[in-house]
Homo-oligomer: A and B are copies of this chain.
């Protein structure tokens, strides 16, 4: 693979996440870049296989195993969050963009599995969560790094079917 693809990044400075890799002693490779690129260009909650298929279109040599291993790594270093929406396969999302944007939570329909991202009330939530985190961290001597909030119920379509 020629360096062309990577030159595109270099032309606008190294991608913001390179530091995270080097800092932790990991290498920057084509599959890793491709997976991050796929994740950064979607708003969906992709499964490992969906990521594999998308990456595979750009770089057919990349295998599913590498996708799994890379996702595990990305979750480990905090670049990616792994979700379980109850459809028995893991879903992945970039934990934050270059600007730390896009913080949101999920609304999951227990009938059809649809997942809606919402950012409403996030400010109030975040405020309460930060207080809670502080209190919990102190009481249980826990170093809290993340949180998960999901609401479950019936979406409008499934509601009307009942």
Contact = CB atoms under 8 A, between A and B. Distances in A.
Interface of A: 82, 84, 86, 107, 109-110, 116, 118, 120-121, 124-125, 128, 131-133, 135-137, 139-156, 159
| Residue among A86, A120, A136, A154 with most chain B CB within 10 A | A136
Contact of A121 (B131, B140, B141): B131
Contact of A145 (B120, B143, B148, B152): B152
Oligomer copy total: 2
A86 to B, nearest CB: 7
Contacts of A159: 141-143
12 contacts: A107-B136, A116-B142, A120-B132, A120-B135, A124-B128, A141-B156, A142-B153, A142-B155, A145-B152, A146-B151, A146-B153, A149-B149
A116 B137 CA distance: 12
